Structure 1
Amino acid sequence: MDIIVTIFSTIIDQLQKPTLAFLIGGMLLASLGSKLEVPEPVYKFIVMLLLLKVGLGAGISVRDANLTELLVPAAGAAIVGVLIVLLGSRTLARWKGVSKIDGLATAGLFGAVSASTLAAGMAVLDDENIAYEGFIGALYPFMDIAALVTAIVMAKVSVARRASNAEIAADGTMAMNAAPKTEPAQIEGLEKGLVKTILVDTFRSPAISALLIGLAIGIFAAPDSVYDSFYEPLFRGLLSILMLIMGMEAWARLSELRKVAHAYILYGIAAPLVHGMLGFGVGLIAHHLTGFSAGGVVLLSIMAASSSDISGPPTMRGALPEANPSAYVGTSTGLGTPVAILSIPLFMALAAAFIG
């Protein structure tokens, strides 16, 4: 009973903090029909600065990090990304009325990471003076790329098999002999350069590029002074504007869900919580193996609960043009992102209860 009271009081308290308050404020403005707009270039500039800040901070911390302490959470992050997609392939992608391609694309976005949600989690922990590993930002690409590659490969293989079956069905006399010849050839051709293409496209995406260059500079250069004097002071102000934008965007995307199956609504609400608990469990394992901090466990949970809002959608559009953006973007931005951000207090309370 005490845990429930603690979780509830933590949630109420955090809803009043700037990070979550700006998100809710944006949703309220959009619901009231406000014409407030933030120009797209400004939005992209804010995201770039936030990701550079996260990357620089992670790189500076990686310089002094113990290799084992970094590798265990990194491996855990990649595993979580893959597991989320596999879970989506067994649930949403098999739901009646849901296209398998759309279901896998949606699962891929939910397995990937939202940079803004991660930044929001860091801000909340900073406000509460809860310590976490500085290299947390370096875990972002492990989960993000693992989820996107897994989802796209599974979707492409599904398309190849479906095309193979259709070709075989068109000629009943070849049904017994065509399957062994056509399907392996298609899948082999598919797998040849697919993973490499996905990796290249993902690394070239704006979000990952900004994060990785910040990470590299933090590790191999000495950006501490510009980090402390420029990026750190701007962080919370820029994040508040981003949360306002995301709140308005989330409300606008909710209308897109009317065009697709109601299964997406249920998935968008439940998946962040289920995925976050999966991340929390992996974080606990890392905690017991390497002493991974309670704050680190919370942020790994937030990464797992989040769904990609920057790098994922363009990656999916390019790799799976047949997938319906209203399904995977609407579910991700319209429901997944606000639920993930609003669940931050839940994971904080769980960490306090199980780790202390």
Structure 2
Amino acid sequence: MNASPAQPAAAQHTLEKTYWGHVGGKAIWLYKLSLAGGLQLHVTNYGAIIQSLYVPRPDGTSVDVVLGYDTLHEYIDDPFYMGCVVGRVANRIDTGKVNIQGRTYQLAVTPGGFHHHGGHIGFGKKVWDAETFGTANTVGITLQYVSAHLEEGFPGNLTTQVTYTLHRDNRLTVEFMATTDQPTLVNLTQHSYFNLGGHAHGNIGGHLLQTHAPWYLPATARLMPTGEIASVRGTPFDFREERFIDEQIDSDYSQLRAAGGYDHFFVLEREHSKKLKAAASVIEPRSRLRMDVKTTEPGFHFYAGNFLDADFRGKHGARYHFRGGLCLETHHFPDAVNHGNFPSTVLMPGVEFGSLSEFLFREG
């Protein structure tokens, strides 16, 4: 593979673009963005995937805190949504049969009979257009994908943009925008697996987690929301005070047994205010690396990597074992179209969908 010369940029940041292969006759590139002395981000226009995120340490080294693969081929075969953008609709929709503004549509469904993470070929398996940018204090990339009417069963032509921006304070922002020409559903998220000890560090049960979620969504045995918005008080889902992830993950609690661990939506607000607010903080105790997450979304899905399988080799030959990474997927409530008490995921023509999430890295 041949790397193109670094693009003209101010001394404070660097941009590099490397050819990574072809998909469907379209070129795939790996973009490397960095701020001097700060974060370094590797992104590909296949699936708008975050392939690596290097966080600087006080001793002058850096640590890659997201799980991933070395090659495009591995991402094409990946079953775990590793680092990609999930859409049009993240998470699950029961039966996949939806009513939008009085019209019924059948979405693509799994063998289990529900729509999952955008369908058979969701946004994480699409080729996006990409454009990089840089200023004195930031460097970033905007990726765009146009989803055709009835792709995976969704009505309307949907134009989606995601912008990843690195900031001077070791903060990564993820901003979504989307527009449609027909009423449709939109619920986008970024699906990186984090391990603050390093991508090959191992089980994340020893990470400390604190959330700002007073409620969570109980789920059925098929991991479908029941419709109840339940208090976390007195349950293993109460992380309002910092504690280890593995403290109760394997406890004899029906919700955890059904999901094989944490794989649930945590509710920050019952109604969508669109305000940027604290969502969660994660600390890796040995390194004291801390990640603080804020979002304009009404909640986030906390997934503890319960389905990771060491048969899949990750970057540099690493084995990503059971619970080797965690996801904090900021988005709207799952299956919202089937629950009138959940914030709506319907997007109308003439209205712009917008979402902002921040991931701040610092010493804990």
TM-score tier after normalising by the smaller chain length:
under 0.3
TM-score, normalized by length of structure 1?
Answer: 0.25
Q: More strand by proportion, 1 or 2?
A: 2
Higher relative contact order (CA 8 A, sep 6+): 1
Larger radius of gyration: 1
Q: Which has the higher helix share?
A: 1
Instruction: Give me the TM-score of the superposition, normalised by structure 2.
Output: 0.25
